[in-house]
Amino acid sequence: MPQDGRPTLEIVRQKVRHYCAYQERCHSEVESKLRELGVYGDTASEIISGLIAEGFLNEERFACAFAGGKFRQLDWGRVLIRQHLKRKGLNDYLIRKGLAAIDEQDYMRCIQRLAERELARDKGNALQRRQHTLRFLMRKGFETHLIDEVLSGAGDFS
């Protein structure tokens, strides 16, 4: 390590490789990590290019892993996943690829399961239960037309 306390370029490369190997990362996360390590500008771009060439960094792979993970682990819907991928700086093509990794049947089963759980948990009349469940599923990031479809089949709310 040099006198100024900053790590050498090779040590930075090793740290960032480990950072990317631990879990899938997007460019913005790696750029943030490099800034944290004191690396900016052309040097940061060079390191990122090297990570892409070595296969440590792949935003398409990141989008698929992120979307699938948030859906399976946290029951997030496509709307919420899309918002988070946008915040991470991914383009629309990569976001569509990530969302396509979610199985449609699993997605509908998830909405159904969450709707049934919320309807059973909530007290009040049928209209209040429906509104509560609708708001809950929208906060989870599910599309309104799919929520309506599921709730229409879940009972009489008129």
pLDDT digits (tens, 9 = 90+) for 53-105: 999 999 999 999 999 999 999 999 999 999 999 999 999 999 999 999 999 99
- Do 110 and 139 belong together in one domain? yes
Q: Is pLDDT at 158 greater than 60 in this prediction? A: no
- Tell me, yes or no, whether 68 and 82 share the same domain: yes
Is residue 83 assigned to a domain? Answer: yes
Kindly state whether residue 122 falls inside one of the protein's structural domains.
Answer: yes
Other C-beta atoms closer than 10 Å to the C-beta of 16 total: 23
Residue 78, C-beta contacts closer than 8 angstroms, at least 6 positions apart: 99, 102, 107, 141, 142, 143
Q: Are residues 72 and 51 located together in one domain of the fold?
A: no
Residues 71 and 51 in one domain: no
Tell me the whole-structure pTM to 2 decimals. 0.88
Q: Which domain holds residue 115?
A: 104-152
Co-location of 27 and 52 in the same domain:
yes
CATH classification of the domain holding 29: 1.10.10.10
94-152 per-position pLDDT tens digit: 999 999 999 999 999 999 999 999 999 868 888 999 999 999 999 999 999 999 999 99
Report if residue 4 sits inside a domain.
Answer: no
Domain boundary among 41, 57, 73: 57
* Same domain, yes or no: 111 and 96: no
Q: Which amino acid makes up residue 132? A: H
Total of domains in the chain: 3
Task: Compute the distance between CA of residue 17 and CA of residue 30 in angstroms, rounded to an integer.
Answer: 10
Same domain, 53 and 73: no
Alpha carbon distance 82, 142 (integer Å): 11
Same domain, 51 and 82: no
Cα dihedral 91, 93, 78, 24, rounded to 10, equals: -70
In this structure, the answer to whether residues 115 and 92 fall within a common structural domain is no
45 and 29 fall within a common domain? yes
